[in-house]
Structures are given as structure tokens and as C-alpha cells.
Amino acid sequence: MKLNPLSPAAFALIFLLAACQQQEGAAENSEEEADETPPIPVEVGKPERGDIYAVYTGTAPIQALAEANVVGKVGGEVREILVEEGDTVIKGQILARLDGDRLRLELSQSEAQLRKLQRDYERNVDLSERGLISEGDFEKIKFEMEALQASFNLSKLELDYTQIRAPIDGVISERLIKLGNTIRENDPVFRVTSFDPLVAYLHVPEREYRNIDKGQAVSIDIDALQGPAVVANVTRVSPIVDPETGTFKITIEMFDDQLRIKPGMFGRISVVYDEHTNVLQIPRSAIIEDVGQSSVFVVENDIAVRKLVETGYSDEGMIEITSGLTDDADVVIVGQIGLKPDAKVTVINADETSQLNLAEKTDTQVAD
């Protein structure tokens, strides 16, 4: 039997039909595989309403506003120490006493000379009134008495300097002398630190200049205290911007009656410069940034729907949503990374969300 050969057109037609059948089979398999793709587990949460603050944050060491290095104004041997490190002192309080024997003798000598000259001056006053002494001699005695009076006052002051006094109110932060030491004039003996108030100097970028003003509230977290944040205020704002750093300095004062805060501690400072009340908020981590656009995923009928949103202030892990979301949206807060639009999802905290919604409705009914 002889076979009739097929024409080239017949061969082409056969191959085309086979390719179409393969494509249809692949499409059916893809649809079946898509139908079999398991839903992606996610966690959702409802947006919250509350107050949110615009905050500038920075770090700075805590410092003493006033601190004085106390020096010996005269030399001598340390005979008595009346305070120790950590003691609270007031301005003028005696901190230590030096040997003043030589100065006391000099004062006694000066006092004796002054008394003798005062008696001579009183006699010459009577003689001058009766014209028995020239005016020049009388003036000479008067000037000598005034010079000796000044010398007496100086000796008296130097003797008083043997009692070393606190120049300011504060706490003895360092004692630099020991009993029996001989010090010279201007040797350091104590350091007094004022804790009322303490200050922090924060250098803020110039772009924030219009946002920072005197009197604004400040929150300071000090890790060493492991307690609630310290509340303070901005007391001064520098009127100039440093051209080298592009920053301006603000001064923050804080008061601590319990003396828990110590100069040198490190503080994380938050300056609150604006507030939005009763605004819609979601966790900052739920936001997806892409090419200058912010979006979130919400769950609708077990499908992930991507929604563009506009944001406002961000504070303490929450971010303000100004548009794009409603109060009852189920926002994906865990599992949104890598999630594709229209993907099937399963909410693993569905029971918790339902209970929360029920509690909110009950609270609303009770309030009504």
C-alpha cells in the first residue's frame, strides 16, 4: 500500500493544534495550582483613635547649671574638715578651717597700732580746732590713720579666709584635701555642685527652628534610673545657628527633689512641639513604603487588599492616618511583608479581633 505524503501546510496545521492543546492544558494546571495555593497567615488589628504628638528626639548628657571649684584664699595647715562628699551645703557655710595663728598675731599687732594712732588723731583734732597745729600735719595724721585702718581690715579679712566657705548652695561633689595638709593660696580644696536645677544642652538641626520654642514640654528617659520619664521644660533657645554644624542650642532645665538624677547621666530627650487629638492611628510597622507612597494591607473577605494612605505624626510606635482608612478596617499588622495584592489570607487572631470588636460594641451601648 502506498502512503500519500502530507503537504507542508498540513504539517504546520498539526503542530499548531498540538501547541494549542498544550497551552490549554498548562492554563488548566495553573488554575488548579492557584486554587490549591494555601492562604497566607496574617494578624490584623483595628485602627485606634487617640492623641498623638509631634516630637523631636535627641540625646545629651545631664549637667549641673552651677558648679564651683572652692580654693584656699590663704595658705595654711588644714586643722578641721567639717563636710564630706555627698553632704548638702548652703552658701556661706564653713567647709574647713586652716591654721590662722600667724594671721591672728598680725591682726592683733595691726589693731594695737590703729588704737595708738586713733588716740593721737583725737588729740590733734583738739589742737587743730584751737589752731595749735598746722593743717598739713593734721591731714598727715588723718591719712596715716586711714591707711592703718585699711591694713587692719585686710588682716581681719585674711584671718576670716582661714575658714573655707561654700560659694553656692549645692552638694559636695569632691573633697580634694586631707586633715593635716598644708595648702597654698589658690589651691583647690572642694568642688560644690548645684542640683537645683540640672540642665541638658541639646543641639537641634536648623530645620526644626520654627518648631522649638521656650516653655515647651520635654520628656527625658534616663536609662540609669530605670523608671518613668522625667518631665522638664525648654527654658532657653539660642537666637543663632552655628554655621559649622547647622544646629542651634536649646537649654532644658529639670528639678529633682530626691536627688536621683546625677550630673553626667545620659538622657534621651523628647521635645513635644505639637499635638493632634482623637486621630486615627495604626502601628508604624504596618506601613509599607514604596516609591514615595505609603500603603497598608486590609483584609476583605479573606483577601488582602492594598490601600494607599496618607500619614501624619508618628510617636511611640504609632502613626497617624489622615486619609485612606476607616475605623472598622482590618489592617494587617503581622505578615504584610511580601504580601501580594488580592492574595488569599487567613487571620490567625480572628477570635481575638472578634472579642475586641464585641467589647467595643458593648462599651458603646453602655455609654449610649
Q: Residue 302 sits in a domain of what CATH number? A: 2.40.420.20
Q: Residue 356: what pLDDT?
A: 45
What backbone torsions phi and psi does residue 276 show, to the nearest 5 degrees? -115, 125
Do 219 and 315 lie in a common domain?
no
In a domain, 248, yes or no: yes
Which of 193, 212, 236 is a domain's end point?
193
Q: Is 363's pLDDT higher than 60?
A: no
Which of 136, 168, 193 is a domain's end point?
193
In a domain, 3, yes or no: no
Helix (H) or strand (E) holding 130: none
Helix (H) or strand (E) holding 123: helix 101-129
Q: Is 291's pLDDT higher than 50?
A: yes
Kind of pairing, strands 76-81 and 182-183?
Answer: antiparallel
In a domain, 245, yes or no: yes
Which of 193, 210, 238 is a domain's end point?
193
Do 206 and 314 lie in a common domain?
no
Mean pLDDT, range 97-121, rounded to an integer: 82
Do 145 and 256 lie in a common domain?
no
Q: Residue 62: what pLDDT?
A: 94
Q: Calculate the CA dihedral of residues 100, 102, 103, 109 and round it to 10 degrees.
A: 140
Mean pLDDT, range 24-49, rounded to an integer: 70
In a domain, 97, yes or no: yes
The tally of domains found in the chain comes to: 3
Residue numbers of the domain that contains 208: 56-65+195-275
Do 189 and 199 lie in a common domain?
no
Give 245 or 144, the one with higher predicted confidence: 245
Instruction: State the amino acid at position 89 in one-letter form.
Output: V
Do 93 and 157 lie in a common domain?
yes
In a domain, 353, yes or no: yes
- Alpha carbons 306 and 218: distance in angstroms, whole number: 38
Q: Are 274 and 210 in contact (CB under 8 A)?
A: no
pTM over cut 0.85 = no
Do 47 and 93 lie in a common domain?
no
Least confident of 9-13, 100-104, 174-178: 9-13
- The closest of 47, 105, 2 to 309, measured between CA atoms, is 47
In a domain, 218, yes or no: yes
In a domain, 9, yes or no: no
319: alpha, beta or left, given left = phi > 0 and alpha = psi -120 to 50? beta
In a domain, 217, yes or no: yes
Do 282 and 352 lie in a common domain?
yes
